[in-house]
């Protein structure tokens, strides 16, 4: 892209973007942000909240024995401006319909007692590159080409 410079950070993001487009083929973009009272400032505690919600989501989506047939997804972690964390999740293209995803979201939010707006699902159409760049904005690379890989789950 013309507006991006060749810094270590953009080179890493471009490489990750190319890999994900070539091998991963995400179809949906799911943002998960917990309500303010349930947000954790500690990233490991926040990740446990996400793991709990995503396991419930997968069970609702894939049914019994869901843990034998996971839905492929990539999670990018981003720090909120004030407190807590939220997650950008790229869901793989496994023949799951938007209707089934929305039903799984609805059931998951009801079971976990979180508002429906905490899980926002959007289809990824022709703007895959923009979705990846948006998801990767929390990744930073230093001059030694080391990056904060804990932002990718």
* Per-residue pLDDT tens over the stretch 107-118: 999 999 999 999
Q: How many CB atoms lie within 10 A of CB 102?
A: 13
Query: Is the pTM above the cut of 0.95?
Result: no
DSSP 139: -
Distance, in Å, from the CA atom of 121 to the CA atom of 119, rounded to the nearest integer, reads: 7
Using the Cα atoms of residue 91, residue 42, residue 130 and residue 132 in order, give the sign of their dihedral. Answer: negative
Whether residue 116 contacts residue 106, with contact meaning beta carbons closer than 8 Å, is answered with yes
Angle at 138 between CA 24 and CA 29, to 5 degrees: 40
Looking from the CA of 134 toward its CB, the CA atoms found within 13 Å total 13
Q: Which parts of the chain fold into alpha helices (H)?
A: 8-19, 43-62, 98-112, 128-135
pLDDT band at 2 (very low <50, low <70, confident <90, very high): very low
131 pLDDT exceeds 90? no
DSSP 127: -
Looking from the CA of 7 toward its CB, the CA atoms found within 13 Å total 12
Most confident of 29-33, 88-92, 148-152: 29-33
Distance, in Å, from the CA atom of 138 to the CA atom of 127, rounded to the nearest integer, reads: 19
């Amino acid at each position: 892209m013309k507006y991006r410079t060749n810094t270590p950070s953009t080179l890493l993001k471009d490489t990750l973007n190319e890999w994900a487009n070539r091998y991963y083929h995400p179809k949906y973009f799911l943002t998960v942000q917990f309500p303010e009272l349930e947000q954790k400032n500690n990233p490991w505690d926040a990740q446990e909240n996400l793991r709990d919600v995503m396991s419930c989501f997968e069970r609702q989506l894939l049914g019994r024995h869901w843990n034998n047939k996971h839905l492929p997804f990539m999670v990018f972690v981003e720090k909120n401006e004030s407190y807590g964390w939220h997650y950008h999740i790229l869901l793989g293209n496994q023949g799951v319909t938007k209707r089934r995803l929305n039903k799984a979201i609805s059931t998951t939010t009801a079971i976990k007692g979180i508002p429906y707006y905490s899980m926002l699902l959007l289809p990824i159409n022709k703007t895959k590159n923009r979705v990846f760049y948006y998801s990767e904005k929390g990744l930073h690379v230093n001059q030694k080409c080391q990056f904060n890989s804990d932002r990718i789950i």
